Amino acid sequence: MLFFYPKIVYLAGFALTLMFAIARIVELMQQTVNAEDEADALKKNVKQLRDAASRTTSVPPVTDDSKAETPGSTPYTLRKRNVSTASKDE
């Protein structure tokens, strides 16, 4: 019986540590799910704002498909026109 008590204490300590570890893992998983839900809501909000902005401006909306440049297409950018100084001197 003398050696039986320390084994029980070790097992109880291990079980308690394991319980805290599992509880922390569950908490982290819940935080991950909440963060993913928040990210989805923000993406939806950005899409709505982008659609609203495209209705009020003349610049076409940027979609995921239009980001990749295809040969012969020019992306929509807002650039200042460079005025040639050589034509003014002549």
- Note the pLDDT of residue 90: 45
Domain count, the chain: 1
- Note the pLDDT of residue 33: 95
Report whether pLDDT(13) > 70: yes
Supply φ then ψ for residue 66, to 5 degrees. -80, -5
77 located within any domain: no
14 located within any domain: yes
pLDDT, tens digit (0-9, with 9 covering 90-100), for 36-54:
999 999 999 999 998 888 8
Only one residue has tokens 């989805």, namely 40
* 76 contacts 60 by C-beta, under 8 angstroms: yes
37 located within any domain: yes
Host domain of residue 44 = 8-54
80 located within any domain: no
Report whether pLDDT(82) > 60: no
75 located within any domain: no
